[in-house]
Structure 1
């Protein structure tokens, strides 16, 4: 059964916290959006708040804000095309709404709870409806269907004590702190060694051991898990701020990750179907 993540009892969020997450101009626009009532249909689903914000387009933008169990802001994303530094005005407006109207936000079932309550027939019908409305879902299903199957105990490819969700949370935290330092021009934050090698080295050592033991498929599963964890953390933290600095290009663990991917794939005699799968997956 999926782990349940509920709305935090206490939110550790202040107006100063929200202002620090964005630029001065965007803060003013977000405050104006909040005061003019642009935030619509805010709901909690588990530990994630979802809200619509009426912007300049006909369709509202959708903002997702998630929190740790301790009530600390973890991620904030928006469907708008904003490419500036920090949070967009829609996220600012939603955070201000949450700060001032937390008691008015209803709690709804999370995705995990909704899916677990459905029968097999209902899930199949749901997938058919999604595929009819969004044909790209069919490609996602095909890709998922061809992921090589391994035993549940090693499905992630990593040892059972590795908490992948905790790894993603740690990565998000480190990336966000670096992004904030870049946003506020704090050069001291970049003089020390970046923390990612320390986080990933023990995990990459597991992959190296798997390859040494002649277990390339387990190594591939582990590499896929680690790569997806990194992608998820980067996507949620708007890592383009850090890409502009060039800091991530020379990360030792990223170079090692690429070498291990090559070694694992070259250690296998892949069928045509498997080659096609990994080409799609790596792309």
Structure 2
């Protein structure tokens, strides 16, 4: 077993419970301690006339779970007392494993004799070992349900999923036994109670990171379905409302609708439907998803029974919001009534407040089906309502395809663009829609009018402009981005291709102004991006950026830029490289590789400018100043030869 400290127990049980358990331990209240198969057992005397039977389980991960016959039930002061006894007096615990091993070598007669003596001295054991199939047959499920309530106890904040499942597993075993003995209705009731109680603690926020409670819910759901399969119609009807209640609680999509499916038959499907309608009428907080799942379930079952019209009628009875209209339209569409489905969608758009993704998408799906043969049904002004809904969030090309397709077919794409530019607040979405439709001019104007568009959207517009041969416009967008002040977390940058385009389409004066603004804004990332292109065209501008930001730039960037600029400005580039070495590369031997990269750049600049003597002087002086750094000197000698 892992070692524990008193602080560990305080963290697990809490200060108050630990303090009381410490008093019990120090008062000698722990008696007859025993360890069997990694579980600690003991009797702990408290305020009752008889000692409490306490056990402590410690799993492989070092998690502690205690169980007790006291009113508190588990994780109590008696469990603390047992743990303290184990921590401080492990030798006081009888080795139950050794006793059991010795029993294995005894004969049947010896074991029976020993058992008789135990039963005589401890008559309470007779009840425990006397449990039989008869006991299971006569078990009172109300008692089992109460035990579930005691085990759940949602006020216990220290519970996690594993602990709770450990407490419920014995109850599940008893419930499986009920099923084996033919008490299938009772077993179904208990399984349903387990599901309902577990959903309650999940809603209370219990820690179930490993999804152990979820697995238990799924297992109980499957067991419930197996048990109700053979029940009479009357018994099934009694379970409909409780099952619906559990389904409404299921915010985690555990598939509890399958339990309802197990209850449904040809005889009772209309009864189930009535229960469902009463439930949704009485409970307005029901999840749209759960409600939709059951409508689909009942509709599909009606369809399998050869009653597709009942699926439509059910959807009509559930009209309360836009999603309900979408479900009704879908039911009509499945029955082959495209026009009827479109009429329902139109009603949903015009009669109900709020929005529905399902309804908006369904509108364009149906409109595109009908526009060729029933053009009179399509009104472009009405079509703008779901179109603007779709464009009100982040741009979704798949959803927008239907919008674009319809307005293109009816010849109203320009009107759509004008409306979205005027009405949609999220101009990023508008710009992406314009690019999707190939309206690059409008997208460029939007980027000019709204320079605060998201960088990636700006880059998309610039790329689209470049691909259309509008290089000056593309360069203008990137120029606007380059001089913009940005947040530290705003790390998006144009592609190298767009940077090169911007530099090539800008004159010296414009680029100087851009470089001055970049230095003022301290946007080193865009400076790094522009260095290669500037170094090839306007070395003095690249040098100004390098001088301003060398202390924040990557060593490789400095070395590459210095080589490009060095032919025209060797002294400045050598100076910047040596400053960077002295400032950042001599702190530790872990930076010596960076120092070598910059020294190589200095050598290349000197060779390029026929300044070999200057290089020899630089490297000798540098080696002399750093002669104590033996690793660095060794690297210099290997790279540059004798100094």
TM-score by length of 2: 0.23
Q: Which has the larger radius of gyration?
A: 2
TM-score by length of 1: 0.46
Greater RCO structure (CA 8 Å; 6+ sep): 1
More strand by share: 1
More helix by share: 2
